[in-house]
């Protein structure tokens, strides 16, 4: 595959074909999606209930710890971005002399 115009021109002058001498045959056109049996609303909700039973739900303690960690990370990142914003504001003020 040519990487730029100069390489393309050189390839034309040389007449060299890149890649295999015999290109692979084209893929046959794929047919439309195979038709699937549609589930009735009752079957659908039964399948949803079965899948929900397989879920491993976190305990109340795990949920509480995760929630607290999210709040801590929000506070830490907001403090970090506040400090960075003030530092950039100060540097830009020095550069522009405002």
Q: Give the pLDDT confidence of 73-91 residue by residue, as tens digits.
A: 999 999 999 999 999 999 9
pLDDT in tens, 5-64: 766 776 666 665 555 566 667 776 666 666 778 889 999 999 999 999 999 989 999 999
Q: Which residues contact 11 (CB under 8 A, 6 or more apart)?
A: 2, 18
pLDDT value for 23: 64
**What is the structure's pLDDT at 38?**
85
Question: What pLDDT is attached to residue 24?
Answer: 67
């Amino acid at each position: 595959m040519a990487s730029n115009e100069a390489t393309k021109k050189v390839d034309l002058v040389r007449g060299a074909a890149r890649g295999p001498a015999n290109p692979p045959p084209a893929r046959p056109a794929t047919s439309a999606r195979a038709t699937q049996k549609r589930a009735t609303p009752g079957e659908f909700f039964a399948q949803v209930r079965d899948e929900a039973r397989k879920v491993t739900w976190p305990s109340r303690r795990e949920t509480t710890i995760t929630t607290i960690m999210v709040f801590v990370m929000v506070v830490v990142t907001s403090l970090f971005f506040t400090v960075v914003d003030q530092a950039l504001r100060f540097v830009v003020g020095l550069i522009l002399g405002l």
